[in-house]
Homo-oligomer: A and B are copies of this chain.
């Protein structure tokens, strides 16, 4: 398989899961001290991660949870942010300027900053009250800490059972990549040079569609896209879809599956250029169906990891290239 390092993939997932003990220590202390609310803050792709988490959390926890775009917090403020606020961030480089500015604003309010920052020698890492360094999925990291907050709030009885099954997650996600590979290759060959990509996802995959379109296709592959939530698809965007429009539907296993099924059922009447990536088609041995809503964005990111590899080849466009990012000041 092209550019596929199974050991690396498994190792990275395992390293995130191994944060369990440190996360629990951090959460226990915060719960003992008391807190009023939690903010998950990001920008661009990390804001999309916050949206993915929120799609699940808002129906499942009574914790006062907010999501914030770093630039919007700076521009607009948020009256709920204060000294009893916990602010959770994630960043690879630890150098995103809007994030640094927004975290400083939070610290001026005496909020507590929990950071999953890959580079521990970075400005963002320096600003964290609790720092978890190292690589791996931002979604998984924030999910783990939020599930711990829920457990402490007596809202997630399956906590131990969840972690027991997560033992199978590293292999499970590697297996997803293997299973989807030939479909991803076909997709890239058929659509790699299309002029426009519509990406649709609902619930936790609304954020996944947003970030796949913007952070991968646009930023790293220079492909034109529009992402739209399954919830809003029937309220505008459908009118621009015709027989030849290239539409990709992300289907997941969370509460929004019915929204996605509605799109899937309607589309063939007006379009013959549809690809569906459905997390349900990809087994992860040892993991029960009851946890697959929580894992839906992770499974989808394993799927699009393979799409990326093949698009990169078909387009002869190494994903490291940027036209403007880190080349120009803005």
A residues adjacent to B (C-beta < 8 A) = 43-45, 47, 55-56, 58-62, 69-72, 75-80, 98, 195-196, 202-203, 211, 214-215, 218-220, 222-226, 228-232, 234-240, 242, 254-256, 258-259, 262, 265-266, 269-270, 322-325, 328, 330
Q: Find out whether the CB atom of B330 lies under 8 angstroms from the CB atom of A75.
A: no
Give chain B residues whose Cβ lies under 8 Å from the Cβ of A269.
328
**A43 to chain B: closest residue by CB:** B235
Does the CB pair B218–A239 fall under 8 Å? Answer: yes
Contact B266 A239 (CB under 8 A): no
List the B side residues contacting A242 at CB < 8 Å: 323
Cα separation A196 to B225 with both chains bound (whole Å): 10
Q: Is the CB of B235 within 8 A of A215?
A: yes
Given A58-B77, A75-B256: A218 and B232 interface contact (C-beta under 8 Å): no
In contact, B59 and A330 (Cβ under 8 angstroms): no
Q: Counting chain B CB atoms within 10 Å of each CB, which of A59, A224, A239, A323 scores highest?
A: A239
A55 (CB) vs chain B CBs: closest residue: B76
Give the residue name and chain of the B residue nearest to A195 (CB).
Answer: B195
CA distance A265 to B196 in the complex (A): 27
The chain B residue sitting closest to A324, CB to CB, is B238
Chain B residues contacting A77 (CB-CB under 8 Å) are: 58-60, 255
In the complex the two chains form, is B78's CB within 8 Å of A59's CB? yes
**Is A259 within 8 A of B75, CB to CB?**
yes
Q: Is the CB of B75 within 8 A of A235?
A: no
Q: Which of B79, B225, B238 contacts A226 (CB 8 A)?
A: B225
Contact B323 A239 (CB under 8 A): yes
Q: Give the residue of B224, B236, B255 whose beta carbon is less than 8 angstroms from that of A76.
A: B255
Closest to A325 in B: B239
Q: Most chain-B CB neighbours within 10 Å: which of A43, A236, A265, A330?
A: A236
Q: Is the CB of A69 within 8 A of B229?
A: yes
CA distance A306 to B231 in the complex (A): 29
Instruction: Establish whether residues B79 and A232, one from each chain, have CB atoms under 8 Å apart when the complex forms.
Output: no
Closest chain-B Cβ to A189's Cβ sits at a distance in Å of 22
Considering the chains assembled together, what is the distance between the CA atoms of A55 and B242 in angstroms? 34
Contact B238 A224 (CB under 8 A): no
The answer for the CA separation of A79 and B328 in the assembled complex, in Å, is: 45
Are B258 and A75 in contact (CB-based, < 8 A)? yes
Evaluate contact between A60 and B45: CB separation under 8 angstroms. no
Q: Smallest Cβ distance from A291 to chain B, in angstroms?
A: 17
- A218 touches which of B240, B259, B270 (Cβ 8 Å): B240
Q: Do A79 and B61 contact each other (CB < 8 Å), given the known contacts A235-B44, A236-B215, A239-B219?
A: yes
Chain B residues with CB under 8 A of A256:
72, 75-76
Query: In the complex, what residue of chain B is closest to A257 when comparing beta carbons?
Result: B75
- A-B pairs with beta carbons under 8 Å apart, 11 shown: A44-B236, A69-B232, A71-B202, A71-B231, A211-B236, A214-B232, A218-B239, A222-B239, A239-B325, A266-B328, A270-B324
The smallest beta-carbon distance between A329 and chain B, in angstroms, is 9
User: A234 to nearest B CB, angstroms?
Assistant: 6
